[in-house]
Amino acid sequence: MSRQVEVCGTTKSTPKDRIFMNTGKQQKPVLTGQRFKTRKRDEKEKFEPTVFRDTIVGGISEAGGDLDAVAKFLDVTGSRLDYRRYADTLFDILIAGSMLAPGGTRIDDGDKTKVTDHCVFTAPENHAAIRSYAQVFNKLIRRYKYLEKAFEEEMKKLLLFLKAFSEAERTKLAMLTGILLANGTLPPSILTSLFSDNIVKEGISATFAVKMFKAWIAEKDANAVTSALRKANLDKRLLELFPANKQNVDHFSKYFNEAGLKELSEFLRLQQSLGTRKELQKELQERLSQECPIREIVVYVKEEMKRNSLQEHAVIGLLWTCLMNAVEWNKKEELVTEQALKHLKHYAPLLAVFSTQGQSELVLLQKIQEYCYDNIHFMKSFSKIIVLFYKADVLSEDTILRWYKDAHAAKGKSVFLEQMKKFVEWLQNAEEESESEGEED
């Protein structure tokens, strides 16, 4: 079938399949059924997991114990192997020498051609040897940044698999983890895997943690470790390394002290104490706002002190803070002193119960000094508050004289020492008179 087409004034017969719309460009002929391959530049070779495994195992085995050669092999090979897809296989081999099945068992343990004898688990059990392996991971992840997240997931997985590994393997993994945490290759958040019940109840988590912390401290120091734990909000979860019936500060302290980690033991005690104080402060503020009777507050505070092993000097400062936070203070200096003295006179019996020791009294006196300095309207109230507390048996003569002589804080000391000068002189004269009277008797 053909159509009549007028071209240059003449009519010609043209096959239907050669007619096309004028698009401004001449269409190129296409051969039906033929596919054109699009060439991709730098296309990576495709590997199955087993082929990937064989390549990695072969390269590591060929490098032998030369970890610099291993690092170079991994660097070069990453340009053609799909590290992104097979990251878990890569890290399994570097750490355990073989691909791992769920749970931590070796998939190819029976075939020596598919495993390598050069990995973290077969390394010598000393800090220097494990640090050398840590450097291999550092170089690999610096070179292939996308492996960073995959490595975190790998380590979380391995910590969950601890039960499947031997004690020596767990020790080396603990050392590796501590070193990598110290140099920032791993974040502390991976340690949440250690709180899994199946390894906690076996005592594996606590043993692993001790070895890991030792390696971490050896690389940095105890302050770096505690700071990292605090930032990761793990400082309050350390007790979870132990079974529920052993999750107490005393057990933790004994266990870590015996392991030579006294710094962490003291750190936990401090964190627990701070947490307890925050809860105590919150409850005290609530009771003060409700104007609970002083005797009820005393009973409550004493019970909390006993239950949480809190010392008197820790509680007295807390009470002062709560009392001063319980009032909306007048902004006028001439009125705030009268307001403060009335409020503190009412609660002086409460403070007196918890200031029976010289150390507690001194802590309170220093807290008052700091408060009056930090709150400008109270600058002239300082000496009046001290005299009030002296008369109410909250502060003793000895403590006031000791504060005046050399135990005062630095904040505003010249102003407050000047305020207290006449009262201190009166105390000293009264003391001398009392001594002379005693001699006459």
Cα 349–Cα 353–Cα 358 angle in degrees, nearest 5: 115
The pLDDT of 327-340, averaged and rounded, is 88
* Separation CA 90–CA 74 (nearest Å): 10
**Amino acid symbol at 98:** S
Q: What is the pLDDT of residue 435?
A: 58
16 pLDDT above the threshold of 50: no
The per-residue pLDDT for 396 is 94
> For 86-98, what is the mean pLDDT?
94
18-27, 162-171, 228-237: range with lowest mean pLDDT:
18-27
Q: Is 400 left (phi over 0), alpha (psi -120 to 50) or beta?
A: alpha
Query: What was the pLDDT predicted at 439?
Result: 53
What proportion of the chain, given as a percentage, has pLDDT over 70?
A: 86
Cβ atoms 88, 102 nearer than 8 A: no
Model confidence pLDDT, tens digit, residues 406-436: 999 899 989 999 999 999 999 988 766 655 5
Q: Is the pLDDT of residue 67 over 70?
A: yes
Average pLDDT over residues 197-204: 95
* Domain range summary for the chain, segments of one domain joined by +: 291-440
Token pair recorded at residue 25: 């460009």
Between 277 and 6, the more confident residue is: 277
The closest alpha carbon to 372, from 406, 405, 417, belongs to 417
Residue 137's pLDDT band (boundaries 50, 70, 90)?
A: very high
Average pLDDT over every residue of 378-389: 94
Hey, what amino acid is at 387? Answer: V
CA nearest to 235, candidates 208, 201, 275: 275
Task: Determine contact, residues 253/269, Cβ cutoff 8 Å.
Answer: yes
Average pLDDT of the residues in 111-117 = 85
CA distance 43 to 2: 49
CATH hierarchy code of domain 291-440? 1.25.40.180
277 vs 207, more confident:
207
User: Using H for helix, E for strand and C for coil, what is the string for the chain?
Assistant: CEEEEEECCEEEEEEHHHCCCCCCCCCCCCCCCCCCCCCCCCCCCCCCHHHHHHHHHHHHHHHCCCHHHHHHHHHHHCCCCCCCCCHHHHHHHHHHCCCECCCCCECCCCCHHHCCCCCHHHCCCCHHHHHHHHHHHHHHHHHCCCHHHHHHHHHHHHHHCHHHCCHHHHHHHHHHHHHHHHCCCCCHHHHHHHHCHHHHCCCHHHHHHHHHHHHHHHHCCHHHHHHHHHHCCCCCCHHHHCCHHHCCHHHHHHHHHHCCCHHHHHHHHHHHHHHHHHHHHHHHHHHHHCCCCHHHHHHHHHHHHHHHCCCHHHHHHHHHHHHHHCCCCCCCHHHHHHHHHHHHHHHHHHHHHCCCCHHHHHHHHHHHHHHHHHCHHHHHHHHHHHHHHHHCCCCCHHHHHHHHHHHCCCCCHHHHHHHHHHHHHHHHHHHHHHHHHHHHC
- Range name among 31-45, 132-146, 253-267 with the lowest pLDDT average: 31-45
CA distance 98 to 264: 35
Confidence of residue 278 (pLDDT cuts 50, 70, 90): confident
CA–CA distance, 208 with 194 (Å, rounded to integer): 9
Instruction: Look at residue 68 in the predicted model and tell me its pLDDT.
Output: 95
pLDDT of res. 430: 74
Q: What type of residue is 367?
A: K
- Give the global pTM: 0.61
255-263's contacts with Cβ under 8 Å and 24+ in sequence apart are: 255/206, 255/210, 256/210, 259/210, 259/214, 260/214, 261/210, 261/213, 261/214, 261/217, 263/217, 263/222, 263/225, 263/226
